[in-house]
Structure 1
Amino acid sequence: MTSERKENPDTPAMLAAVRTSLSPERFATYLRASAGDPDLALRLHTRNTALSAGFYGPLQSVELTLRNTLHRALARRYGAAWFDNPATGLNAYAITEIAQTRAKLKRGRYVPDAPHTVAALSFGFWVALLGPGGSANYAMTLWRPALSAAFPHARLPRKTIHREFDHLRTFRNRIAHHEPIFTRHLAADYAKILTLAGWMCPLTRDWIARHSRIPTLLAADPAQESLF
């Protein structure tokens, strides 16, 4: 792809069309970071896209690991359908999210059973289970009896674990909404992904690191990067 791009460079008309497609407001972010040079701005946008794509896999793995780890911990304590068990002590936000998720599954003609419900709940839902829970007091209803066991390799308080996963949720959402990430300390973001995965399962962390493209992307020459 890189050699083809060199042999057949983008035409001025194509570049102008891409800038329009990105929207003036979005492109302005890259222009400001490129001292007003539109060619450099497009190159920076290309790099941002490549980096975002590279982070998708590691973030997906951490999200799936968190979801399934928390589900197993809650199921051991409150049963496979823990979200229907009043003893779980979920707060109003969680109850509403579960109800809306199951209603959406029904509209899509899926069975709103435990596997489908667990898979359909958002990353934000799972991260919120690590939070204080408001009047539900998750420290007593969720953390101590169940969720603390989900992090066997992290000797840390609930507040710290929740804060770190919530930071990761914010980063994940920036990528999901196609926002710029090039100004972030991306090496630190990647290290955090590996750290949080390791809190739950060191072998999964090692697998993520083994297959991740992030170190290569961070070390790459931006001029050689392509969108696809």
Structure 2
Amino acid sequence: MDGDRERAIRLYAWNATVSAAFYEPLQGLEIALRNAMHRELTAKFGLLWYENPLCGLDTKTLAKLAATRGELLRDRYDDTPPQIVSALSFGFWIALLGPGGQSPFSGRANYEMTLWRPALFKAFPHKRISRKAAHAPLDYLRVFRNRIAHHEPIFSRHLARDYESILEVTGWICPATRDWIAHHSRVGEVLDTRYNDPALGC
């Protein structure tokens, strides 16, 4: 029992360490994604693209924008495009790569036709890819990021594969950012500490 308790404590500590190590790669991906998407939406629909009805944003997206704007104003920040873009969540941007939900007018929004084909495919200039193929790994990484943010255990995952996915998807957007992440990341080093410690298992 004492050995199990000791292993549990060490595994808990290692989980905290590897979660922290993943923070920077995930942050790099998130910033690269939102900047690229904002760039392409601005080029097509103008700087205030989120107010342009041609975007065909769905009800949920518009509600998130309104809430973000309200929070900025409440905290005495300007609701300018740079402030709004930086305040919107990782999940917000990934949702724009989805199919679109209920329209505020009638029927359903169609992000394939209003966002992806006119603009957002250009946010992935280094990979010829469909909207669905872009959305799937990013949404998977969103769930992974949320597990880390909520201090949930991630040690049972295939973390080396998760890390490779972060690098791969970032490379679709910006190879220079991918290389920067790979150069500065501590993920590989932290993973090795577990592989080299029999008490932690693999």
TM-score by length of 1: 0.81
Q: CA deviation at 1:183?
A: 0.1
Q: What are the superposed Cα offsets for residues 162-209 of structure 1, whole Å, 9 maximum, x if unpaired?
A: 011000000000000000000000000000000010000111101100
Residue 130 of structure 1 is matched in structure 2 by: 97
- 2:16 aligned residue: 49
Per the alignment, do residues 184 and 35 of structure 1 end up closer, same or farther by CA in structure 2, a change over 3 Å counting? Answer: farther
Superimposed CA distance per residue, residues 42-100 of structure 1 (whole angstroms, 9 cap, x where no aligned partner)? 00000100000000000000011111110001000000110111111111111000000
Q: Secondary structure at the residue paired with 1:153? A: coil
Which sections of structure 1, spanning at least 5 residues, go unmatched?
1-33, 224-228
| Inter-partner Cα distance in structure 1 for 2:20 and 2:90 | 18
SS of residue paired to 2:21: helix
1:172 aligns with 2:145: yes
1:66 aligns with 2:33: yes
Question: Which residue identity does 1:203 align to in structure 2?
Answer: A
> Is residue 52 of structure 2 the alignment partner of residue 85 of structure 1?
yes
Larger Rg: 1
Taking only the aligned residue pairs, the percentage that are identical comes to 55
> Among 67, 80, 86, which residue is 1:119 paired with?
86
Instruction: Pick closer, same or farther for the CA change 1:148–1:42 going to 2, 3 Å.
Output: same
- State the Cα RMSD in Å: 1.5
- Counterpart-to-counterpart distance in 1, 2:160 and 2:124: 23
CA–CA distance in structure 1, aligned partners of residues 2 and 70 of structure 2 = 49
Q: Which sections of structure 2, spanning at least 5 residues, go unmatched?
A: 102-107, 198-202
- Call closer, same or farther: CA 1:71–1:35 in 2, change over 3 Å: farther
Query: For the structure 1 residues 35 and 124, does the alpha-carbon distance in structure 2 shift closer, same or farther, using more than 3 Å as the test?
Result: farther
Please give the alpha-carbon distance, in whole angstroms, between the structure 2 residues aligned to 1:216 and 1:192. Answer: 17
The one-letter code of the counterpart of 2:190 is L
Match of 2:72 among 93, 105, 109: 105
Amino acid at match of 1:115: P
Aligned twin of 1:147: 120
SS at match of 1:118: helix
Q: Structure 1 residue runs of 4+, over 6 Å off?
A: none
Query: Aligned partners of 1:132, 1:61: CA distance in 2, in Å?
Result: 25
| Residue 10 of structure 1: aligned partner | none
Deviation at 1:35, TM superposition (A): 9.8
**Which of 42, 48, 67 is the aligned partner of 1:75?**
42
The number of equivalent residue pairs is 190
Which residue in 2 is equivalent to 1:186?
159
Summarize deviations over 1:115-146 as a string: whole Å, max 9, x none: 11111111110000000003110000000000
1:19 is aligned to: none
Residue from 178, 182, 189 that aligns with 1:209: 182
SS at 1:136 equivalent: coil
